[in-house]
A and B are shown apart, each in its own frame.
Chain A
Amino acid sequence: MILDILSWIAIAIGVFFVLVGGIGLIRMPDLFSRMHPAGILDSTGAGFLLLGFLLQADDWLVAVKLVLIFVFLLFTSPVATHALAHAALLDGLKPWTKERKKDSES
């Protein structure tokens, strides 16, 4: 019973972070600031969801596989956001600043 409640709480927190990441992805002004919500989605969102599933696992093999999935996610998703931002920077994309917003509005 305790494990059930704990896993519910973990999954709820994970869903909250995924929602925050999704809203942030839409509302952020340019590519570089959009990388932050994407990183939140992948690390904390997926991490808490996997923790919630881990507490529900009945077989130790399933638990080991979930931990491995989390480890691989931890390795690959920051590299993905880094590669995207690096590629955009190499292409010549300039970060969004308040002054450029005023220029585009006036």
Chain B
Amino acid sequence: MSDFLVLRVIAKLLIPFILLFGFYVQMHGDYGPGGGFQAGVIIAAAFILYAIVFDVNTARRMAPMAVLVSLACLGVLLYAGVGVANLLYGGRFLEYGAFAHDPAHGNHIGILIIEIGVGIAVAAVMMIIFFSFARRR
């Protein structure tokens, strides 16, 4: 029976919902308010909540710094990679219409992929900043 029982129980209840909401916001950026930036911040907030309520070292073991740095680079590479892929498909840099037969479809695919890239990069960078600050205690 620890000192922070109430906080721990509520955090365990809420963190799955926060993550779920983050994924919902990411995927529904096309049809409602949302998109990559908001989703990345919400997912990072879930991890930060875990690190605050439970041990920071446990949270750091769950999300090691090497993985976070790789994820941040992956996010930016995904975005720029879509641009390069457009060059390979015959269009200009970041002209998503070249992906499919119909420019509207190509644009939709391109927007989905780059929003995922933005979400991954923002979430990883927020967690990197938090863990860098929290390390020096």
- The chain A residues found within 8 Å of chain B, CB to CB, are 72, 75-76, 79, 82-83, 86
Contact = CB atoms under 8 A, between A and B. Distances in A.
A82 B6 contact: yes
Q: Is the interface of B mostly helix, strand, loop or mixed?
A: helix
B13 A75 contact: yes
Given A79-B10, A82-B6, A83-B6, 13 more contacts: A72-B14, A72-B17, A75-B10, A75-B13, A75-B14, A76-B10, A76-B14, A79-B6, A79-B7, A82-B7, A83-B7, A86-B3, A86-B4
Interface residues of B, number: 8
Interface in B1-46: 3-4, 6-7, 10, 13-14, 17
Contacts of A83: 6-7
A86 B7 CA distance: 10
Contacts of B4: 86
Interface of B: 3-4, 6-7, 10, 13-14, 17
A82 B8 CA distance: 12
A72 B14 CA distance: 9
A86 B5 CA distance: 11
B19 to A, nearest CB: 14
Contacts of B14: 72, 75-76
A86 B3 CA distance: 9
A79 B13 CA distance: 12
Contacts of A86: 3-4
Contacts of B10: 75-76, 79
Contacts of B7: 79, 82-83
Contacts of B6: 79, 82-83
A51 B33 CA distance: 24
A77 to B, nearest CB: 11
Nearest to B10: A79
Contacts of A82: 6-7
A76 B4 CA distance: 15
A2 to B, nearest CB: 32
16 contacts: A72-B14, A72-B17, A75-B10, A75-B13, A75-B14, A76-B10, A76-B14, A79-B6, A79-B7, A79-B10, A82-B6, A82-B7, A83-B6, A83-B7, A86-B3, A86-B4
